Amino acid sequence: MELKDFLFTSITLLAIYIIAYTFRNRFTDKLTRPYFIPALTVKVIGAISLGLIYQFYYHGGDTFNYFDQSKVIHEAFNNNLVKGVQLLFASGKYHPETFQYASRIYWYQSPSEYFIIKIAAVLGLFNSHSYSSIAVLFATLGFSGVWVLYRTFVKMAPRQHRALALCILFVPSVFFWGSGLMKDTITLGALGWLFYGFYTGFIERRLNLLTAGIVIISFYVIFQVKLYILLSFLPPAIYWIFTENSKFFNHKLFRFVGKPIMIITGITLAYLAAINVTKGDIKYDLDKIGERTKINAEYLYRISLLQEGSAYYLGELDGSIGSMIRIAPMAVNVTLFRPYLWEIANPLMLFSAVESFVFVILFISLFIRPGPLKSLWQIARYPVIQFCVMFTIILAFAVGLNSYNFGTLVRYKIQLLPFFLSSIVLIRHFAKSPMESISMYNTTEPNLSNS
């Protein structure tokens, strides 16, 4: 870090907190207001801490690669505004006008990485391209999505605002790995906005230009950066929409016949979306996914073995979909509940293992109170819990199957943790207070004077 980092980061933080305090009442209510500034603060701390860890513990890494390569675009802006703009809108093709700059960007032809580089370059225009200042701005962008995600869940279960705050805003791995100058910060924020847009537009049925714009932009961002998150989100989201809206059939026969039709239609649309979105993409094409997963898993496992204690093994893959399905339970387990305490091999794994142990305890608690039958009943009863469970399982399977390294795993799984933990909160809440569940989708704020 340089001297300018302290100056511009201080100015950036001052501006962010002035804006936050000025508009806090607009984006909060009496339930959520106490968490707004603390949640923003932990994101800022996470962004700065991540930079320090990468600088002094890892001695480099992706966050600095994004920053260093975004410097080239910043340089282009300083030398020639037109060329800087051309680089921002470049799609990986070299052009004579910008070749002197593009040829120096290692990830110029890697769309997802270059997307992050372009965001960093734009944010760097306002702070003399200071790393820590850009990281703080990344954290703020990510915070916006996490905050609307939190407010959406609170709308469903207002009395659980404290528990939901802990599950969404203050999970250590989420605000650490999801706050810095990284892909994960942008995708986590966009995922929060996408969830908010789907809920507002299709569950509350308040679809307007603003909501549609939020869905389209957040969809596009995730599509550009981490497509597999989008593929994990679409099937349960479409299932949720159709299942939730099936209750508006007036006649019992229509409800009986219409609900399964909507469910089947939702799953079919999600499958068709996945095929069309991934068609021709060597990473995600469904026709080649078994083969690609086998190659990727073997490669990552060999690389991880070089990092003592960080590798994990799930089982043999033969390139078929069947072999992927066989190890699916182990993949979901490793994502949600590992590393175990006895698998700790370095200081950073300690924090991850302790956190995973807490997740194990929370999950086991569902079998004790309210109990397995009541827990399953709440899942069957509420489409939003079904969405959370399905999204968690799908993404946990994808992440566990394609990491093979605990260091990578802890970053990749932060996208699903708010949904996984919130589903536990909702299951426990509605099992304990079944009458309150009647107003679950009520958009008005309840009277909580006695809570």
pLDDT tens track for 336-385: 999 999 888 888 889 999 999 999 999 999 998 888 999 999 998 899 99
When the pLDDT of each residue in the chain is averaged and rounded to a whole number, the result is: 85
Reported as a pLDDT band with limits 50, 70 and 90, residue 259 is low
Using the Cα atoms of residue 168, residue 174, residue 180 and residue 185 in order, give the sign of their dihedral. negative
pLDDT category of residue 41 using cuts at 50, 70 and 90: very high
pLDDT at 21: 96
CA 444, 450, 451: angle at the middle one, nearest 5? 75
Summarize the confidence of residues 257-281 as an average pLDDT.
58
Two tokens at 333? Answer: 């387990």
How confident is the model at residue 215, as a pLDDT? Answer: 95
Question: The tokens of 9 are what?
Answer: 């980061």
pLDDT at 441: 47
- Which pLDDT value is given to residue 310? 76
Residue 129 has pLDDT above 70, yes or no: yes
Average pLDDT over residues 28-40: 96
Given a cut of 80, whether residue 273 has pLDDT beyond it is no
> Average of pLDDT values for 415-427?
96
H or E element: which one contains 277? helix 252-278
Compare 247 and 110 and report the one with higher pLDDT: 110
Q: What pLDDT band is residue 297 in, cutting at 50, 70 and 90?
A: low
Q: DSSP class of residue 60?
A: S
165, 213 contact by CB (below 8 A): no
Candidate from 181-185, 190-194, 273-277 with smallest mean pLDDT: 273-277
Over residues 393-404, the pLDDT tens digits come to 989 988 888 777
Task: Determine the distance from the C-alpha atom of residue 442 to the mean position of all C-alpha atoms in its chain, rounded to a whole number.
Answer: 26
CA–CA gap between residue 238 and residue 258 (Å, rounded): 15
The reported pTM is 0.89
Per-residue pLDDT band for 439 (boundaries 50, 70, 90) equals very low
What is the C-alpha separation between 143 and 175, in angstroms, rounded? 9
pLDDT band at 283 (very low <50, low <70, confident <90, very high): low
Task: Assess whether pLDDT exceeds 80 at residue 408.
Answer: yes
